[in-house]
Amino acid sequence: MSGILEGKRILVTGVLMESSIAFHVARLAQEQGAEIILTAFPRPTLTERIAKKLPKPAKVIELDVTNEEHLARLADVVGEELGGLDGIVHSIGFAPQDALGGNFLNTPFESVATAMHVSAFSLKSLTTACLPLMQNGGSVVGLTFDAQYAWPQYDWMGPAKAALEATSRYMARDLGKQNIRCNLISAGPIGSMAAKSIPGFSDLAAVWDTRSPLEWDLKDPEPAGRGVVALLSDWFPKTTGEIIHVDGGLHAIGA
């Protein structure tokens, strides 16, 4: 039996460590029949080393999503490698240290602007840079962390994720006529490199110990990766503007 991504061409951002959700998306996508290309910043060599652990070789290209020159050449570089694209995975987020860890009221706008640019606006800029390669439609899937709530230590990444969620809805509105779906996976906390950059991350993650209906494993990114792969596939042909929770069910529990 062929995989659910057989013949698909997928661009995956954010593969930094084997523990990252993006790495498991790339692995599962290959196992399900996709050809993939990876982007990395600021250390492409690190991603190249991690990529060697994937089932098949995958090219890594440098991409700073805040750099207009990088974005302008992206379609040409990816097109030469894959010929076109059927899917994009946005697994990019960053906030300066003074925008995290309980410093919400004191964070300067410059740091907030950086968090918004890298974590939210980049969903639009990455997708529009790739549009010339998506002539037959496709699927854009991003990763969020439930922005309905104010989380311990998360600070300005919370509003940045709220902006990401709104951006995805507006992209779904505007790209539907091109048969491009835009959805998000809202994942529970994972002990990835991104998590390690959040001061007091253990306080945030501890919420899942007492409130998650399903047992949650900080060391297992695969459930979220499976959710992303499912949304990349043709099994959700009329789903767009959606946020699918892969969080053990915690989003449904009040206390």
Q: Residue ranges for the binding site?
A: 14, 20-21, 64-65, 92, 95, 161, 190-194
3-class DSSP string for 70-129: HHHHHHHHHHHHHCCCCEEEECCCCCCHHHCCCCHHHCCHHHHHHHHHHHHHHHHHHHHH
Alpha-carbon gap, residue 97 to 19, rounded angstroms: 22
Q: Is 161 a catalytic residue?
A: yes
Given the residues 124, 161, 177, 238, the one annotated as active site: 161
Contact 74, 63 (CB under 8 A): yes
The binding site for substrate comprises 95
Q: Is 154 a catalytic residue?
A: yes
Alpha-carbon gap, residue 207 to 151, rounded angstroms: 9
Active site residues per annotation: 154, 161
